[in-house]
Structures are given as C-alpha cells and as structure tokens.
Amino acid sequence: MAVSGKPDRGAPATLITVAPTGAEVDKSAVPALPVTLEELVTTAKECQLAGAAVIHVHIRGADAKPTLDIGRLTDTVRALRESTDLIVQLSTGGAVTDSFERRLAVLDASPDACSLTCGTVNFGDDVFMNPWGFMAELYAKTQSLGVVPEFELFDFGHIAALHRLLAEFGPPAGGHVHCDLVMGVPGGMPGNAATLVQAVAALPPGATWSATGIGRTALPVLFAALAAGGHLRVGMEDTVTFARGRPVASNAELVERAAGAAALAQRPAMTPAAARELLGVPDHR
Ligand code: KMH
Ligand code: ZN
C-alpha cells in the first residue's frame, strides 16, 4: 500500500527514471555530463542496462548550452527509440530562460512522454515560471497529441494546482496520473522524509509517484521514497556528487545505486515494458 492508502499500480517493482543532463550544469565544470547526441545515447544504453525504464531528456546545442531546437529534439527522440527501449520523456521545463512558446513546441518532437510542472517556483536566484494559463495550454496539448505527462511537483501549491488541472480538464493521455516530487530545490519543498510523506498524502487518489532529491538531498529522498512505496528518479540533472568529495562518474552509477537500493527493499527495478503498462505509454516504435 502507498502512503496515500491506495494500492500501488505495478508494485512491487520500482520505476527508475534517469535525468542525465538537465539545463543547469555546465559541461566545462562537469566533463562527465552527457551533452552530445552520441553521449546521450551511450548514457541511455548504460542506464537501461543498469535498471532505468524512463529517460527525462534535456538537450544541448553544439556549444553544450541548453536548447529547445525542434530539429535536435526530434533527432534525439528518434535516436533514443532506435537504440533503447526506454520511455522517452522530453522536458517541457527547459531552462529558466526559455519562452512558453518554445516550451510548448517541445511536444511537436513527438515524444512518448513529457514533464509538466504544476506551478511557478523560486529556483535558486532565478524563477521557474509555470503560470496557470501556460500549464493549462500545455496540458491540453498533451491530451490532443497523446503525449503522456508526468506532473512535476516542486512544492505543495503545485499539488493543489494538479488537483485543479485534473478537475477542469479531465484525465491525462494514457489515463493514469503519475507525479514526480522534485525535492530540495532552493525555493521549493525541502528534501526530507517528513515532507515526502506529507506530499504523498496530498496526491490525487490512485496516482503513482516518484521522487528525486536535488544535490545533497538525493539519498534521504531516495530512501524515503522506497520506504513509502514510491518510485525513483536519479541522474546528473539532479546531483553531480556521488558521495562527499567524490563527483559522479556517470549517470549509470546513479541508476545502479538506485537499483541496488530498490532490490534491497525487495522492489527491484521495473522493465521499460512494465513501465509502459503502468504509465499507459504506447510503444511508438
Ligand atoms: N530546468 C528547470 C528550470 C523539467 O524538466 O520539466 C526545469 C526542469 C523541469 O528541469
Ligand atoms: Zn528536467
């Protein structure tokens, strides 16, 4: 049983999402960060072998800076589908500097799934903007294109906005609500077990959820999520430190660690096929 009192669909296996790149980390500061298409595909293959079922994708341009170029996004979706079985989830969050228009256009690259953040949040010294009108338009576009959204929740107000979205516009593509608690962002909810339990209790009935802890909250959130019956997201988008004083060498080692913890919890990593069934994501290949 989940903390919400609802049975977990697909339990006891653990859905592991890898977020390998993000939009915030600089390649010059973290050489192991995958930024080219070749690096991303190699990482994706390694992470699937290590136990990942979903890949949350931000891409970079030739200058290694974040981009939402639609041609590059389309090529990325194609290459990941050709080389792996992973569910390809494109970020619609992009970087804090990306326009709403470009973030909406991400869906034109025809991914399996996408992230959909349920509200604005302070993001370090920046602001990650997700006003109601944008969220609603993005949600309607996921429904009309059949792209399965994952609801990104950085704070408690985002959970209230998710309830409103579902009440006003109905169920998502795929018919199942899956959320990701993004914890420990400076400006969002803290990454600890008490907060996680409270957040999970407030989710819509029947929803499944994963959690990720940013930076040094990665491990407390991972263990709390497993204990509370949730799924996991890990990757260099969220943490670039494996242990005190030891940088992450690869995304695969973060997935391996998550899969090992899940196995210890008697909830081994879920296959991509089982994840498609859980989330209602069709195989477009
Ligand atoms: N890069 C952050 C501003 C998402 O991918 O949907 C937003 C983010 C969320 O990473
Ligand atoms: Zn992201």
Low-confidence stretches of the chain (pLDDT < 50) are 1-10
Kindly state if the Cβ of 154 falls inside 6 Å of ligand 1.
no
Nearest one of 226, 237, 250, 256 to 52, comparing CA atoms: 256
Kindly state if the Cβ of 221 falls inside 6 Å of ligand 1.
no
- Counting ligand 1 atoms within 8 A of each CB, the residue from 68, 96, 128, 239 with the most, and so the one to mutate, is 128
The alpha carbon dihedral of 66, 68, 69, 72 has a sign of positive
Task: Determine the Cα–Cα distance for residues 16 and 128; give it in Å rounded to an integer.
Answer: 25
Can you list the alpha helix ranges (DSSP code H) found in the chain? 37-50, 70-83, 100-105, 132-145, 156-169, 193-201, 218-227, 251-264, 272-279
Which residue's alpha carbon is at the smallest distance from atom 4 of ligand 1? 93
Contact between 140 and 167 under an 8 Å Cβ cutoff? The reply is: no
Query: What's the confidence (pLDDT) of residue 121?
Result: 98
Kindly state if the Cβ of 212 falls inside 6 Å of ligand 1.
no
- Counting ligand 1 atoms within 8 A of each CB, the residue from 26, 92, 130, 152 with the most, and so the one to mutate, is 152
Query: What's the confidence (pLDDT) of residue 10?
Result: 44
Query: What's the confidence (pLDDT) of residue 284?
Result: 86
Contact between 247 and 30 under an 8 Å Cβ cutoff? The reply is: yes
Kindly state if the Cβ of 210 falls inside 6 Å of ligand 1.
no
- The residues, ordered by sequence, that sit 6+ positions from 98 with a Cβ below 8 Å of its Cβ are 66, 68
Query: What's the confidence (pLDDT) of residue 12?
Result: 84
Which residue's alpha carbon is at the smallest distance from atom 7 of ligand 1? 93
Kindly state if the Cβ of 151 falls inside 6 Å of ligand 1.
no
Kindly state if the Cβ of 235 falls inside 6 Å of ligand 1.
no
189 C-alpha to ligand 2 centroid (Å):
16
Which residue's alpha carbon is at the smallest distance from atom 8 of ligand 1? 93
58 C-alpha to ligand 2 centroid (Å):
6
Bridge partners (DSSP) listed for residue 269: 14
Which residue's alpha carbon is at the smallest distance from atom 10 of ligand 1? 93
Query: What's the confidence (pLDDT) of residue 11?
Result: 54
Query: What's the confidence (pLDDT) of residue 4?
Result: 35
Q: Which domains does the chain have, with CATH numbers?
A: 16-279 (3.20.20.70)
Query: What's the confidence (pLDDT) of residue 2?
Result: 37
